[in-house]
Structure 1
Amino acid sequence: MASHPLFRSLALATAALLSVDGHAADAAPAVASFFDTPQVSQAELSPKGGYVAITTLLPGGVQALAVRDTSDLSKVTVLAKTAIERATITSIHWINDHRVGFTVKNLDNEFEGNLDEFAIDRNGDNRVHLIAGSWGHQQKQIGSNMVNRTLTAEYAYHGVTHDGSDDILVERYMWNNTDLAPDHSRLMRLNTRTQSLRSAFDGTQPPAVHAWFTDGNDVPRVVTSQVKGHCIASYRNVDDTSWTEISNGVCYQDQRFVPLFFDGADTLYVRANYKGYAALFRYKLKTMKMDAEPFVETPGYDFDGVPEVDRATRKLLGIHLRTDAGTTAWLDPAMKAEQARIDAALPGAINTVHCAQDCAASPVLLIASNSDRQPLQFILYTRASGAMIGLGGVHPDLKPAEMGRRSFHRYTARDDRSIPVYVTLPAAKVGGPQPAVVLVHGGPMVRGGAWEWDAEAAFLASRGYVVIQPEFRGGTGFGADHFRAGWKQWGGTMQDDLADAARWAAKQGWADPRRVAIMGASYGGYATLMGLIKDPAVFRCGVEWAGATDIKLRFTSTESDASKETLGYSLRLLVGDPDNAADAAMMRQNSPLLRAAELKQPLLMAHGLKDLRVPIEHANSFAAAVKAHNPNVTSIIYNDEGHGWRHPENRIAFWKQVETFLDQHLKHAE
């Protein structure tokens, strides 16, 4: 079929892909250039590499799923379209060389599930609506015809099979009588043409299964569960109808290992502690023993990686890793050599190279390339010639020269603990200390970021701010001791790390100590409020969104999506036990709600009415309490949002508000 105008003239000159010569433009890029829906958000090679599927925006703001012939990219078939303000395609996956699956999320539904699943032939024929999520029988967005065999929202896509069939793997969720989220799931096999459904294995399964791991034949072999604070891994032989525990320990404390993936040769790989950091180990299922030495270790960082597997040869080709930034450890010499050629052509970037399922037969490779100044873009690499053609990127309007440089450092907190931190400097070259923002990640039991381009940090830096992103204690990714040091430290040493980061940045000559703001979402929103209360001499103003405003309310809110397992075990271990007198006193002392009268600085706060993670009562209670003593508080409620901003128009409007707020209360403050 004829190509759409959008898909013409997409070839990029290799030398220009990551050019950062020249100076930043006088006018800062528009807010929408950072926070609008990505132009090209996903790309996936077909099993033999003859085609590439991408999600992209058509003129008028309509998202499309398109398939392009990798031997002639002008040959394009548009398979599906969806109105982006209502829904978005969150995942694309090749079922076989002739059939593509894709997942659609209703943006108006806060619950993480309720995903619609479709399958369609690459020529546009035989579209089937496999799972009807929250759209139900009202689904009109992409022109599907509902049939009686369409599954309900209690099912969700899990993964493809690799046997050339039309089957995919789906999870069937089951609920208890208490929690909003599913209690457990069972893995099923679904034919995407006939819609026939059957169990992926015979027999029973362990209780409270939340994660499934399949072998090289896509047969479920390992599951993980969480029961009464214990993290459990169980295993079955291919023909067994029962399961055997291979690991059982108190979560976060004494669990032996965490299963991660099987390679094509039926070897299980697990993450376990090694010299204080998580490393990757082989686990021998026949002997039920883990190797004594790690397969991959990343000293100074917890192992964080995903495998690249050739499904045809069942060979593990390499592992894509993250330390301070992304990299790939190739085991396959041919792929290692191709990586070197690609890196030479695209210097200064993290070039993550993906092969088709049948890697040896694929004529092309797919490159996901970005840097600290270059948002993610997708590039097709022809192996025979070395030619590269750009498929598009997430935010093509942004130019590297307009972005600030990011760097990784470590600073010493007041108790001598070393804290990792990312710093983004303004793109424009200016002399002397500049206004700064301490940007606090959510979680908090996660890793915050990496060296690669970050939309929020890049936006703030484009407005002239130094952006400081501490990997404070209690986060993951930097060793077991760093993680454990933050247990029950909400408002305590975790909070001190943020003030110490601001002081450290001032000592480096980057940040003006009189003009430092604090901001963040979720836990970062909590930390923003506590930072303004606890360290008024450090933080001049703050912006928080979707933030918890009272620790105890996390346990008592009837609107929260926290499970009884989380409330009964995880939160009590990591945050505090409200039934313990000392913990209860700590939680009262470190409650922004109970100390709202102490917050005197300007504050911008925003929450989603449909938030289940941090229900709206957090925002309403705190807004009422702080406004009684502080006239410089602006509170925004987005009626169609949950825990974060799914709708692009809300993201853009919010960050415009942030820009105006910081311009008034930070940049030009006396």
Structure 2
Amino acid sequence: MRSSVFLPRLALIAALFSPALQAATASLPPVAAFFNGAEISNVTLSPKGGYVASTMALSDGTQALVIRETADPTKLKVITRNAMDNARVTSVHWINEQRIGFTVKNMQIEFEGNWDEFAVDRDGERRVHLIAGNWGHQQESIGSRFTNRTLTAEYGFFDTTHDDSDDILVEKYVWNHTDRAPDHSRLYRLNTRTQILRSAFEGKQPEAVKDWITDSKDVPRVVSSMVKGRCISYFRNPEDTQWKELNNGVCFTDQRFQPLFFDGANTLFVRANYKNYGALFRYDLKAMKMDDEPIVETPGFDFTGAPEIDRATGKLLGFQLHTDAGTTVWLDPKLKAEQAKIDAALPGTINTVSCAQDCSASPVLLIAAVSDRQPLQYILYNRGTGAMIGLGSTQPNITKAQVGARSFHHYKARDGRSIPVYVTMPAGKPSGPQAAVVLVHGGPQARGSSWEWDSEAAFLSSRGYVVIQPEFRGSTGFGADHFRAGWRQWGLSMQDDLSDAALWAVKQGWADSKRIALMGASYGGYATLMGLIKEPQLFRCGVEWAGVTDINLMFSSSESDSPEEWLGYGARQLIGDPEKDAEQFRRTSPLLRAAELKQPLLMAHGAQDRRVPTEHARKFADAVKASNPNVSYLMYNNEGHGWRHAENSIDFWGKVEVFLDKNLKHAN
């Protein structure tokens, strides 16, 4: 079966709101309403659908892991409660219908080696500390005790098994003598009651393995490596101890397929180029051949999605896909009909429906409902009665009228390239051009945004700004040509795409040409600085956080966690060569041109950032302040590459609000 899928969901917004709501401008929600952390998260159904687990923010501000019966969600059991600000449950996963696992992060430590893994029965009993991070004396405060079988921080949770056992899969990380990040890993099965550890497969494995794909029986079948600039994948049959090469080519350059997943019948699915976009194909491991035609293609977008599989029957039920927004394609007629009923009952939102592992027997479905103006809400759907019961919202203290609508467009860059872009209008739809922010995503080889709820864009729209989020060349998800067009274009055509986005928004009558700001983190921080320097007549001010300030420092900093493999090969392909491109780096490194930046600037960085070490921020702040008095510089001592702590997010965005109000909204 083949599905050609391009399902823009933006037409849904036409009937979302009454004229009265559209005309009204509600009072401003506080900064904390957007950035205080999700009030409900990690929502997941038990394998047979009898229970639903989630983490919830309690009235006293602490976080709890709770389990509810799906037949009566008012019956709630608190499994664990973190009384410390430095502890957070970051992942919840059912091991079987009786037992659940969860990952805890020590928020005081930003680096690797601080993830703890626990397992507990759903009644709260028989808790076992499976993996110990760098907790030290703090372990007793979350109710755990070390045993001689507790694994060290060189292990990490990988996945659950799906055989009704008490086992999970864990990765053991191995480091070399150079990089901060692990060089490779190996998979093991860990019994969550006895803590007995055994290898998930027999025999040796290929070198530098970092990515694993297991089949329907949780057996490692496909692995991927990066070795001296080559991307290599291998496979093995379940009964074999030897791995065979599946795919081998120069990373980024060669046209290769990417293994993605096995279905319940142990068919391998891969993503490969089809009419310039990544599409989903079946791959026959016996014949070593990919199908001629894709099973799913999404014209205009690379295939991005995940399968829905009934683990009890092995049946492939459908796919969760992402085009301009999320959507679901069901192959199963019953689920397709249930999706239609849910969408009819919940118009105006994208309703992502998840089934339990034993889907055919599950009495409920889990709905994640979201729109551009509604934060994510979780709902249980009773398959027998059609009743819906709300479980909670990630950000319940925001109303639709307080934020603006988002839409998806394309604009022409100066060289004619079509650039995708998301635009969020100010709340209340004020007439005439408004102050605007070009919000630049990080990566840069990543997809930046989607139509659904975006806290940063929603916050800025609530404060009256037009928010422009370009998927500039070099972004992924929009075809191979779009990605390749951004290679070695830092500060050049990638930068021009941002300026062209601002000029396009002016032509649409949305943005005031005299009141446009640049903002972004990581690469977005770099682009903010470079844009202020390169286009001072266009961008009035800027906000950057965790930003690269000197391209050469990316290759030379001893504080960076970037691995040698990336610096020696991938970065030279995508960014440039420090020796061969020295002149280009000089022209496109903000640090070397700091004296040219005269506009107001807000900078922020995390003191524990290893991806973009603080020397980037320190050196640039010192250099730019020498000739620019309108520079503010924030340092958050307990943060790394971005903000994990709610109090820091609230503080930062509060300062952003004040900065933009002074230097953009009310500037002459």
TM-score range for the pair, normalised by the shorter chain length = over 0.9
Contact 1:137 1:146 in 2 (8 A): no
- The one-letter code of the counterpart of 1:493 is S
- In the alignment, structure 2 segments of 5+ residues that lack a partner are 1-14
Distance 1:83 1:654, change over 3 A: farther
Q: In the alignment, what sits opposite 2:648?
A: 650
> Offset at 1:144?
1.0
1:545 aligns with 2:534: no
1:219 aligns with 2:231: no
Q: In the alignment, what sits opposite 1:586?
A: 584
Q: In the alignment, what sits opposite 1:156?
A: 156
Q: In the alignment, what sits opposite 2:416?
A: 416
Distance 1:113 1:502, change over 3 A: farther
Matches within 5 A, 1:537-616: 537-580=537-580, 583-616=581-614
Contact 1:23 1:402 in 2 (8 A): no
> Offset at 1:83?
3.7
> Offset at 1:108?
2.1
Distance 1:77 1:549 in 2: 49
Distance 1:486 1:250 in 2: 18
Contact 2:367 2:379 in 1 (8 A): yes
- In the alignment, structure 1 segments of 5+ residues that lack a partner are 1-14
Q: In the alignment, what sits opposite 1:124?
A: 124
Q: In the alignment, what sits opposite 1:355?
A: 355
SS for the counterpart of 1:202 is: coil
> Offset at 1:89?
1.0
Distance 1:242 1:592 in 2: 50
Q: In the alignment, what sits opposite 2:6?
A: none
Q: In the alignment, what sits opposite 1:230?
A: 230
- 1:576-621 per-position Cα deviation (integer Å, ceiling 9, x unaligned): 01121xx111111101000000000000000000000000000000
1:660 aligns with 2:658: yes
> Offset at 1:179?
0.3
Contact 1:180 1:561 in 2 (8 A): yes
> Offset at 1:27?
2.0
Structure 1 length as normaliser, TM-score?
0.96
> Offset at 1:288?
1.2
> Offset at 1:503?
0.4
> Offset at 1:21?
4.2
SS for the counterpart of 2:605 is: strand
Contact 1:305 1:320 in 2 (8 A): yes
> Offset at 1:413?
0.4
SS for the counterpart of 2:28 is: coil
> Offset at 1:115?
1.0
> Offset at 1:133?
1.2
- 1:205-254 per-position Cα deviation (integer Å, ceiling 9, x unaligned): 00000011111100001101110111111000111111000100011111
1:484 aligns with 2:491: no
Judge which range, 83-92 or 155-164, deviates more.
Answer: 83-92
Q: In the alignment, what sits opposite 2:249?
A: 249
Distance 2:19 2:73 in 1: 24
- 1:39-63 per-position Cα deviation (integer Å, ceiling 9, x unaligned): 0012100010000001101111111
Distance 1:137 1:282, change over 3 A: farther
Distance 1:346 1:464, change over 3 A: same
Distance 2:592 2:50 in 1: 61
- The one-letter code of the counterpart of 2:245 is E
Q: In the alignment, what sits opposite 2:8?
A: none
- The one-letter code of the counterpart of 1:645 is W
> Offset at 1:329?
1.0
Matches within 5 A, 1:60-99: 60-83=60-83, 85-99=85-99
Distance 1:83 1:527, change over 3 A: farther
Distance 1:209 1:567 in 2: 18
Matches within 5 A, 1:166-565: 166-565=166-565
> Offset at 1:378?
0.5
Q: How many residue pairs align between the two structures?
A: 654
Distance 1:22 1:464, change over 3 A: closer
- The one-letter code of the counterpart of 1:562 is S
Distance 1:484 1:408, change over 3 A: same
Contact 1:540 1:601 in 2 (8 A): yes
Judge which range, 78-87 or 492-501, deviates more.
Answer: 78-87
Q: In the alignment, what sits opposite 1:634?
A: 632
What CA RMSD, in Å, does the superposition of the two structures yield over aligned residues? Answer: 1.5
Structure 2 length as normaliser, TM-score?
0.96
- The one-letter code of the counterpart of 1:427 is A
Distance 1:21 1:84, change over 3 A: farther
Distance 1:609 1:114 in 2: 17
Contact 1:167 1:191 in 2 (8 A): yes
Distance 1:18 1:79 in 2: 42
- The one-letter code of the counterpart of 1:319 is F
- 1:65-84 per-position Cα deviation (integer Å, ceiling 9, x unaligned): 00000001111110011146
Distance 2:128 2:654 in 1: 41
Contact 2:401 2:428 in 1 (8 A): no
Distance 2:86 2:558 in 1: 28
Distance 1:19 1:356 in 2: 39
SS for the counterpart of 2:357 is: coil
- 1:300-332 per-position Cα deviation (integer Å, ceiling 9, x unaligned): 100100111100010111110000000011111
Aligned pair partner of 1:619 in 606, 617, 639? 617
Matches within 5 A, 1:22-61: 24-61=24-61
- The one-letter code of the counterpart of 1:295 is I
- The one-letter code of the counterpart of 1:114 is N
Distance 2:72 2:574 in 1: 54
